[in-house]
Amino acid sequence: MNPDLKQKLHTLVDSCNDEFILEEAKAVLESYESGKEFWEELDEEDQDTFLGSEEEHEQGHSITHNRLLHQVGGFRKK
């Protein structure tokens, strides 16, 4: 166990004011502690959505994050 890593995580958590980010980090750590796999925690609808998205990506029907930001950027400025 790397104590520097744990200290860095503590520092990051202490400096974070974004409740959503903190809730997500908490969920990840709780999931690890529970021993449940990510997939097991998803309901059937979310699993289907994930699999559908993965299939679309494999078929080349995906968009990069930067491209999406470029396309959506015009809406945000209005």
pLDDT tens, position by position, 19-57: 999 999 998 888 777 777 778 878 999 999 999 988 988
Q: What is the pLDDT of residue 67?
A: 83
Q: What is the pLDDT of residue 77?
A: 58
Please compute Rg for the chain using Cα positions.
18
Mean pLDDT of the chain: 86
Cα atoms in the Cβ-side hemisphere of radius 13 Å centred on 27: 10
